[in-house]
Amino acid sequence: KNNIKNNDTGSSNIAIGSFAGRNTDASGNVIIGDLALEQNASGNNNVAIGNGVANQSYNASGSIFIGNQAGYNEANGNRLYIENSSANQN
């Protein structure tokens, strides 16, 4: 089960923060921070720590995002972001 509001089909997610992982149907994510992974539709097995982290990363899987807005728009998986801005450095 999840502790994420609006997550109907995902499982084994942990989320702490306002709207953290709100629209995800993915599984195996650890999400800490307001608006972190909010729009993650199907990305599995991510670690997101920081406010707004990977907010628009719809399908990124297997990634680690650390820092304010790190990987905000990242579309690809298997990434490591340690950043304090919304800039994507691929």
pLDDT single digits (tens) 18-50: 988 887 788 899 999 999 998 888 899 999 999
pTM: 0.85
pLDDT for residue 5: 57
Of 38 and 2, the one with more pLDDT: 38
Can you give the pLDDT at residue 1? 45
> Which residues, 6+ apart, have CB-to-CB distance to 39 below 8 Å?
23, 55, 56, 57, 58
Nearest C-alpha neighbor of 57 from the set 4, 14, 78:
78
% of the chain with per-residue pLDDT over 70:
86
